[in-house]
């Protein structure tokens, strides 16, 4: 799992006027919570590109005032007109204390049903999980090689040590769909009989 290093500066002044001045200077105000207490800091907007503009799950190492905090990005606020980053919230990772995160789901392999004309469809791209920081990973992988035509993989088929999946077990995450031509051929075959 990739870690993005963010070098921030502690905020001494809080409030609307100070925040506006920070943004005009090209900085983004941030809040880090979940540890000993809240840490208010700011950093240039360019520091956050690697963690904000990606679909991958990444952790952050936030360096503020000589201290280093391991954290995850929890909330992003964008400007409604310019789409610039307006504010970020980070949650500090504390060993042994579980956090709720959204991890990408990657399908591995080529299903057997795809070899006979089926099409693999991924119906869920991300899964919400509850896990301690030591069990976090870049993505959840699901092997789909054993799926036949019309086969379905559900949340209950995903087994990952240390992660508690926060979705209903019956939700389908991947399926091998039967192409229309195969359906029509089967219907024509049924009419002949």
pLDDT in tens, the chain (193 residues): 789 999 999 988 888 999 999 899 999 999 999 877 899 999 999 989 889 998 888 999 999 988 999 999 999 999 899 989 999 999 999 988 999 999 999 999 999 888 888 899 999 999 999 999 999 999 999 999 999 888 999 999 999 999 999 999 999 999 999 877 666 666 666 677 6
CA 166 to chain centre: 14
Q: Which two tokens stand for residue 75?
A: 């909330």
Torsion of CA 11, 65, 35, 39, to 10 degrees: 0
Coil, strand or helix at 17: helix
Domains of the chain: 3-92 (2.40.240.10), 99-192 (2.170.120.20)
Supply the pLDDT for residue 27: 92
**Predicted pLDDT at 179:** 79
């Amino acid at each position: 799992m990739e870690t993005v290093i963010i070098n921030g500066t502690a905020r001494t002044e809080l409030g609307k006027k100070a925040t506006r001045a920070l943004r005009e200077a090209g900085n983004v105000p941030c809040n880090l919570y979940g540890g000993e207490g809240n840490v208010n800091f700011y950093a240039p907007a360019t520091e956050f590109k690697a963690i904000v503009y990606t679909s991958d799950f990444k952790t952050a190492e936030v360096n503020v005032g000589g201290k280093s905090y391991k954290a995850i990005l929890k909330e992003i606020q964008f400007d409604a007109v310019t789409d610039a980053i307006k504010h970020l919230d980070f949650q500090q990772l504390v060993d042994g204390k579980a956090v709720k995160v959204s991890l990408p789901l990657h399908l591995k392999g080529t299903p057997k049903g795809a070899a006979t004309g089926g099409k693999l469809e991924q119906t869920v791209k991300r899964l919400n999980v509850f896990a301690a920081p030591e069990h976090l990973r870049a993505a959840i992988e699901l092997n789909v090689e054993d799926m036949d035509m019309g086969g379905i993989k559900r949340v209950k088929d995903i087994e990952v040590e240390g992660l508690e999946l926060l979705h209903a077990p019956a939700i389908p995450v991947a399926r091998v769909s039967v192409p229309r031509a195969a359906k029509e051929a089967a219907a024509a075959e049924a009419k002949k009989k």
